[in-house]
Structure 1
Amino acid sequence: MDTKKVKNSAHFVLKNRLLWLSLLGLLSTGALTSCGSGIEKPMQTNMPGAPAGGTAQQAAENMAAVPQADTAVGATETPRTLPQLIKKGSLNVVVNSIDKSLKEVSSLVAKQQGDLMGLQDNKPKDPSVRRKATIQIRVPQNKLETTLDQLAKLGNVQNKSITAEDVSQQLVDIDARVRNLRKSEEMTLKIMDRSGSVGDILKVSQQLNTIRSDIERLDAQQKTLRNQVAFSSIALTLEAAVSATPESQPSVGIRMQETWGKATHSVGEFTQALLALMLWLLAFSPYFVLAGAVFYGVKKWKKNKSLPPASRPDAGYDP
């Protein structure tokens, strides 16, 4: 009987302990839930772009999504390459002195690290015609506008223009073709190594020469385009402000000297021609003598023929 009571009392105590543990668990869970809700609210309020009434997990997901969006935007913004342009300039300037302007142009082009590619200076003989000089200039592309502005200060600008041609696509196409040809060259070399007969080797060698010729041609074309992109050309025309003045004409003394020189030269030429004529006459003198004798005989015969018979020189002669 006592043993049964002890068992019942032990069972009661154990049941009470489980009940208290359950109550304590419920209380602790509620406390943690209230604390968690209190922590989540300030996180939601401080979170930029967090939806109202969201949870901390949603806020964390939003935070994780922000750098991904920035990365996506950065990936789409690829660096933009500059266009490959061939620029050409043209300038027509009226100046007071072409000789002085030519010296200034040469000095200016040297300062801009350019080159004078050609010069054509037309000096008219007619004083009423204006003098013109055409110059071909090459300068680095980044100094084209600066050079044109400096050249415009030489005088009064009559015409100024800049043209540009985009060759970016041409350069890209040439690069792609060169790469493909080089791959074909490598494959052809491998085929040549594997070829056994002489005929096959000759065919592959001919194909290899064709490929290399195309590569060299494309390389030269590419270098030409890149050179034209790197350096711009300027066609400069200088025109005199007024026609030639009397100061530019030779003086009276110089004119007299020129006239005397021309006269003496003409006398010398005339003397040489006269001597040459005398030599010709001397060489043909026998023919002239013969022709004169014939002419004289014919003339005398005709004269005797026209006289009366009594007055003829042979009238008293009776055969």
Structure 2
Amino acid sequence: MVCTPRSKHSAKKHSTKKYSAKLLAIAIVSSSVLAGCGSRLQTAEMSAPSGGAAPQMTEATAADAVQNTAAQTAATVPAPQPQLVRTANLDVRVESIETAIEQAQAIIRQQQGEVMNLQDQTPSPGSPHRATIRIRVPQTKLDAAIASLLELGTVQQQSLSAEDVSTQLVDYQARLRNLRRSEETVLKIMDRSGSVGDVLKVAQELNTIRQNIEQINAQLSSLQNQVAYSTIDLQLASAIAPVPDRPSTQTQLANTWNSATQSIGKFTLDLMQLGLWLLVYSPYLLLMLSAAALLYRRRRRVRSVRE
């Protein structure tokens, strides 16, 4: 088939339209891509400040949460109870010291306590009868023991003191733990091979550590014992005994006569008893006197012969 110039022109025109359509499609796609990129950049720019603020708000929220948690934990954890060494002093006026001592000992047994010291002073004329008791009771029964002891008579004075030794207990316990760790470390060192001098040095260090452990352990036990048991110093006093009136002159003379007659009677009895003793031992006394007389006569004869 022979193409005419018109047909060539039509084909060329058709190819030109097809090429133009392709260019238009490419332009549309490019515009869409550029628009999308622009919108993304704009969105990123708009969201950037909010994105920077978000971490700040997150950190602030986390800090608040930590503070709230710490506050709740502090409110939940109970505060440690104080370790108190309690001492009471009681001064009670009673009618009878003997009766009050018996009643106090019964109260002490009832409260599971014990008497540490008891002093009962014999009164002199015109002075009150006094007694002092040092009592040791469990701290949980201290209040009940004090209430019972105050009922023995009239309360003259009472006082109660307490000393918090929590810090000392914590210090002793911490030092004891550290010393035990040091002891374990030294024991591990001793297990290793070494010279005799090194072993002796380590053994000396171990001995020092163990002495410190025993000392601190004794102090800790003593302090814990003082916390577990409270001390009560109870002072009892009775009314002053009345001073007897001075006897009259007639009574004094009668008392003197009675004393004199009793004395002379006793002296006479002593003389009679002495006579009986001499009578019983008279044979021995006669023998001793005879021997002395013979010796004296012999000496006189010897002197006379010499002269």
Give TM-score, length-normalised by structure 2.
Answer: 0.59
Specify the alignment match of 1:221 in structure 2: 219
Specify the alignment match of 1:131 in structure 2: 129
Specify the alignment match of 1:94 in structure 2: 93
Specify the alignment match of 1:305 in structure 2: none
Residues 60 and 102 (structure 1), Cα distance of their counterparts in 2 relative to 1, 3 Å cut: same
Matched, 1:6 2:4: no
In structure 2, runs of 5+ residues without a counterpart are 1-12, 245-262, 295-307
1:91/1:235 contact within 8 Å kept: yes
Instruction: Give the Cα separation in 2 of the matches to 1:200 and 1:26.
Output: 81
Secondary structure at the aligned position of 2:241 is classed as: coil
Per the TM alignment, residue 163 of structure 1 is displaced from its structure 2 partner at its CA by 3.3
Q: Residues 73-119 of structure 1, C-alpha deviation per residue, up to 9 Å, x if partnerless?
A: 56788865444433222111012343443344234333433223333
Secondary structure at the aligned position of 1:94 is classed as: strand
Query: 1:91-170 maps to which residues of 2 (within 5 A)?
Result: 91-124=90-123, 128-170=126-168
Instruction: Give the Cα separation in 1 of the matches to 2:187 and 2:25.
Output: 96
2:126/2:243 contact within 8 Å kept: no
Secondary structure at the aligned position of 2:112 is classed as: coil
Instruction: Give the Cα separation in 1 of the matches to 2:212 and 2:64.
Output: 52
In structure 1, runs of 5+ residues without a counterpart are 41-53, 247-262, 294-319
Specify the alignment match of 1:237 in structure 2: 235
1:87/1:164 contact within 8 Å kept: yes
Instruction: Give the Cα separation in 2 of the matches to 1:129 and 1:232.
Output: 32
AA partner of residue 138 (structure 1) = R
Secondary structure at the aligned position of 2:136 is classed as: strand
Instruction: Give the Cα separation in 2 of the matches to 1:27 and 1:196.
Output: 80
Identity of aligned residues (%): 40
Query: 1:18-29 maps to which residues of 2 (within 5 A)?
Result: none
Instruction: Give the Cα separation in 2 of the matches to 1:234 and 1:210.
Output: 38
For the aligned residues, what is the CA RMSD? Answer: 4.9
AA partner of residue 119 (structure 1) = L
Residues 154 and 289 (structure 1), Cα distance of their counterparts in 2 relative to 1, 3 Å cut: same
Residues 73 and 114 (structure 1), Cα distance of their counterparts in 2 relative to 1, 3 Å cut: same
AA partner of residue 227 (structure 2) = V
Residues 24 and 121 (structure 1), Cα distance of their counterparts in 2 relative to 1, 3 Å cut: same
Moved more, 275-284 or 130-139: 275-284
Specify the alignment match of 2:4 in structure 1: none
Residues 114 and 72 (structure 1), Cα distance of their counterparts in 2 relative to 1, 3 Å cut: same
Residues 67 and 276 (structure 1), Cα distance of their counterparts in 2 relative to 1, 3 Å cut: farther
AA partner of residue 11 (structure 1) = L
AA partner of residue 12 (structure 1) = L
AA partner of residue 141 (structure 2) = K
Secondary structure at the aligned position of 2:85 is classed as: strand
Specify the alignment match of 1:304 in structure 2: none
Residues 13 and 208 (structure 1), Cα distance of their counterparts in 2 relative to 1, 3 Å cut: closer
AA partner of residue 153 (structure 1) = E
Residues 176 and 14 (structure 1), Cα distance of their counterparts in 2 relative to 1, 3 Å cut: closer
Instruction: Give the Cα separation in 1 of the matches to 2:208 and 2:62.
Output: 58
Instruction: Give the Cα separation in 1 of the matches to 2:94 and 2:183.
Output: 58
Specify the alignment match of 2:253 in structure 1: none
Instruction: Give the Cα separation in 2 of the matches to 1:200 and 1:277.
Output: 89
AA partner of residue 118 (structure 2) = L
Instruction: Give the Cα separation in 2 of the matches to 1:26 and 1:227.
Output: 83
Q: Which one has the bigger helix percentage?
A: 2
Instruction: Give the Cα separation in 2 of the matches to 1:210 and 1:6.
Output: 106
Specify the alignment match of 2:176 in structure 1: 178
Instruction: Give the Cα separation in 2 of the matches to 1:74 and 1:232.
Output: 37
Give TM-score, length-normalised by structure 1.
Answer: 0.57
Residues 290 and 95 (structure 1), Cα distance of their counterparts in 2 relative to 1, 3 Å cut: same
